[in-house]
Structure 1
Amino acid sequence: MVAVEPELVRSRVDPVWADTVSRLLACTNPQELLTLLQDTATAVTGSPAAAVYVRQDDGRLRLATSTGYPERFLTRQLSTAADVPVVEAVRTGRPAWRAEPGHRDPRDAPGSGGPTGVAALPLMVDERALGALSVRLRRPGPPTAAEERTLALLASVAAQRLDHLLTRGHRGLPVGVPRLDLAVRMIESRTRAARLELAMSSAGVGAFDWDFGSGRIFWDEHLCRMFGVEPADFDERIEVFYRAIHPDDRGLVEQAVRESKKTGHYAAAYRIVRPDGEMRWIEARGRVLTDPAGRPQGMVGIAQDSTRERRREERRNARREFVLKVTSAFSTALSTQDVVDTMTGTVLPGLEARALAVHFEEDGDMVLAGAEGYPPEIHEQMSRRRTAGEDRLVRAVLESRGPMFFENREQFEGAFPEVVGRTSAGHHAWALFPLRTAEGTIGTCMIAYAEPRAFTDDDLMIYTAVAGILAQSLARARLFDQRRSQMTDLQRVMLPRHLPELPGVEVAVRYLPGAEELDVGGDWYDVLALPGGRVALMIGDVQGHSAQAAAVMGQLRTALLAYADDGHGPGELMGCGNRMLCGLDTDLFATCCIAELDPATGELRLARAGHPYPMVLEADGSVRELAVPGGMPLACEFDEANVYPETTDTLPPGATLLFYTDGLVESRGQDYTAAVAELARSLETWAAEENGGADDRPGLDALADRIAAPAVARAAQDDIAVLLVRRTAAPQP
């Protein structure tokens, strides 16, 4: 087991344990403190048992508190020679761990009776141990790195608080426990500020102790440096704290302090302005200490610099806004020149880049679609039609799986010596990426910068999004001037060409263009694998049959996929789609249904925006309609909350979920409700035939054909999209 040195650990404290730290700091007697420490340790590790031992005058360890151990399994006193982890931890001042064989009688030890492990962490103050925390693990292996860091932090905070209580005269340990005179003598020589110097600095957390009566506030060294103050120069006046708060946030903090004196809990997020003028975000939590009459006397707590997380969130929001802006700009770009103009007018400035060149593949050759920012001689070279195979750089980009970055000229020319003399002298960094649609790789894009540039993970995400949007827009633009019959091919390009292989589910889809017009429609579907084995299911219908409907559908689908990758649930994802569509320069609206399925449990979360209700064909052949409460169709109403209501359900093994667009049930001269009822009867009939072996080709593909057949027979006027998902069984781990 590796010892955790406070100065070397820089991971951020989980907010759950940050609150626990505040509770430890607020304990007013040792018994309460040690009990809270042991209970928290079991929660951190999922342990069945824990105990805390304190050091007596003679050096032996005495049990102070325990949980989860049978009485006959406890050793109430341990000598310094005992060969157990808790004694080793006190003796060495470092964490100790030991695997233990299983017990024949499970009643004799917590857990299953199989092999277990015991981890012990010393309660250290400076170089002396006041005692140790012992935790029994359910597994024979040591604690995980995350568990060890958290336990080390909690043990250190508890030791410092125990130290502090002892010097304030709270020496009332459990019955039979001596005065801990070794610890008392050690800490009597230290100042109050030093006693509160917690090891929490290892996690980027500082501690404070505020005495209301005197107006003095004590900061540990880490908190002083967080506020830009040298510890030796801090005069402990509360005015220093309030003066550091950003003027716009001072009232918020004052209100939080007033509320804390009523509730006992303090929590605030605010900005500070350091002496050097730098602004930082601080998140603080604390607990109010009271006298026996319940009157507030002071506050102890912790504060953390959350500037990095705030800035990361700002970058994430800026990235989303940029994607929305690009998506909106491309929604009206219908020709190839429109696409290039959008790239030069919107994308290039947004990326703070100098030049770009877009090529598309045509009959095996690479053709320049447009370029900007190059001198005439370089532009002429780019305009020459050449096969992809004869240019190693182009071939490398076409075969790459994502964006390629070159941070300086040396990197670029080192990787591709043949570009020497073919690049502008004013360019010193490059981003190159393939343009891919459902039909495959259709071209390349090269973006150049005037200065060397260090590309970040944010750049990777932005370029990946731009590549997807540009590829879709370029594909749409090249098809725009072709015959209206080819517009249907554009619809198929925008739909997934291949569905992902998903453990635990079977999927079938159908798309049928409307027979009334050859113009492309706005129906679409998507199936997306999510982390943890979950599956995102989407189906939607943009109003109308036109190139504009196809453009809006493509932008909406791309944006929803991008937001789904960010981890949004169905309700939030629908809200994001509504916000995006409201921001487009279009009068078109869209209906949509989004679901998230966990094949392992069958848990189903759904959100709906004016779309037909999905249906469930149960394994026994019965059919039910999922009456999912929804919101208005997308782009009909801007919702400030930006979240659609979600419905939860369960999809049992063998059950099939059906999503469809309204073209499946809408036709001239037929009542909509009657058509939906007929669809349900068709599902029941098919289930009975499949169970009876009447169908020569059972499975979802046969069901998809059966569902679409009536619409084909009547030459449905509207487009039809069908998405079927059957939960086969819980996927194997």
Structure 2
Amino acid sequence: MAALPLGPPGGGCLLAVGDQPGGFGPDDRACLELIARAIPVPAPAVAADTGELAADAFSLAMDTGRMEAGARLLRLFGIAPDSFDGRVETLLARTVPEDLPALMSVVEADHMTIGERELEFRILQPAGPPRWLRLRGRLLPRGEGRPARLVGTVADASTLRSDGTDVARVQRLAASLATAGTVQDVGRAVVAALRKPLQADRIALAELENDRLVVTVLDPPEPEAWPEVWRSEWRTEWPDAPVRAMPTLAAALRAGRTRIWPAGSALEPALGEVGPGGLAVLPLPAGTRMAGACLIGWDRPHHFAPDERALLTACAALTGQALLRAHAIDAEHELVGMLQRTLLPRRLPRLPGGTAVARYLPTTAGLEVGGDWYDVIPLADHHVALVIGDVQGHNAGAATLMGQMRTALRAYAVEGHPPDVVVAHANRLLLDMETGLFATCGYVDVDMEQGTAWCVRAGHPHPVLRHPDGTAEIVRCEGGPPLGVLDRAAYPMTPLRLRPGTVIALTTDGLVESPGLDLDTGMDRLARELAAADPGHLGLVADALLAGAQRDDDVALLLMRYDGMAVRPLRESWTVWRVPEAARHARRFTRRTLRGWQLPRDTVDAALLVVSELVTNALVHTDGPVRLDLDLAGHRLRLAVTDSSPRSPVKPAGIGWEATGGRGILLVEAVSAAWGTVPVSGGKQVWAELATGD
């Protein structure tokens, strides 16, 4: 057992227990001493006996920046106690500029949470090198009538620091690893903490997966800087290799202790060429398992001092735990991303006369799945609905509600409702669900034949249009409140005119609004970037627009370029009256129309059979109005009969020879290339398509 004092007398102690024979060796002792010196032990800022501020203590009011400081603390900064003006800026002005950002992160309340803080920094002196000081403090919450305060002590750290400033390196690495969210972040933190201070030529960090080492960070990253054996194992971005191919490394991992080989050591090429002038292998323990290994190599002969060995051992323990934590975070990120991908469209449909692309970026600020969504819905008569939305919150409830709202909007749109009714129905549904959440939504119904559109907004950012002449416009569409807020909300429609080459951009607020960017400024920037983009490559445009996203919120982006339909379909409609000769009137209308379109006789005959069957079924089995629509687009003739009954026709499984009905749908299926039904505003539409030839 080892017991090491922490801080000043009465500050506590560090106890370490080991079971290795012979107790703690010199390297272990040096490492424990290094860790003990790095552990923050704040001294009391206020003397317990007098209640006065201690000589080396301070008290900083976070709202005003006013500061009380002890006499000994002020002398460390070279300030006479009777001349101190009580402003924290006076002390900050004497800080070495490179250390000022780290110190500001401690004295600014916006970047802190309640709890302990420690930092080493340098101050300028009239002569000689900068002096190292150590700040230890605690942020205290607001009291009754008092602002939040940062209280603590500042002491001279010059005598506490080793020649290689190892304590500060351990502290800085620990601070970096505490915020590392991914395995790549861990690797970058280790490289930043060790390579330059140790003047190493290369560092590799690898995870241990079963019996293979999977490299996650190489510095430098160029393959030519690494042994030939490594280059032969380059699978994708980084190499991976079986541990058994490097027996020396395997032995170091089994022992679980830092191993150092000076220049000229007999090592297998895969290790020896990493550090011909010296090699350090740091196994990275994490609990009861080995998380990976870190290799540090030098090209010129390197002398390993005792303090350096202790530094490597301390860094290995910190890195192993951080690597295990980051691996778990990476796995959770992947799970969240997979859930998000299942809730969004797997692919966008091909559009007549246009192209659509979409992008989704989850936030990197946390692990919760977001509520942003998008959708592209093909509708009847060559209409397309572009939908984008954002559900309040970032949790499983928001994600579930997002999936429900996307499904509901698609169902209402396919039923044939106008855009304002679609959004109003979704608002009513969300209120009835009583989730307590709200959602914003943008809905644009585009007529691909005519080049017109109707836009409806429910508390969502405005759409942006990029015109064919290269100008971009933020379309100030009228809007209603977010979905789920008001029972009787109105959602007005705003008309849009599209020319061939026009790009419609719909986005959620994560792209155009952030803590440092207001919504209007973000929308203006989006318009400028869209105007500067090449609309011929819509996917590249989407990627460019997302390049500067802050990622502190989810981002959904939907772009559609309207090209215009090369051939507009021919379309005619007929209202079927409920009279005894209704089917004959429908056939006569169909024959006259198709002959005018100069279709072949066999196509006309098949169409007359289909129309006769569909119209008869509608008249016999439904009530209310019946409408017949004929559409010819290219070499496809579409025949559709709309009625007011929601019941779809069912194809009979079998018909006996004596049956007098039930053959109509079988005849339609036999002569058609395809047929089906779609819901339309409380009723249905039964359609069939015929090929008209080449």
Tell me the TM-score normalized by structure 2. 0.34
Higher helix share: 1
Tell me the TM-score normalized by structure 1. 0.32
Which has the greater radius of gyration? Answer: 2
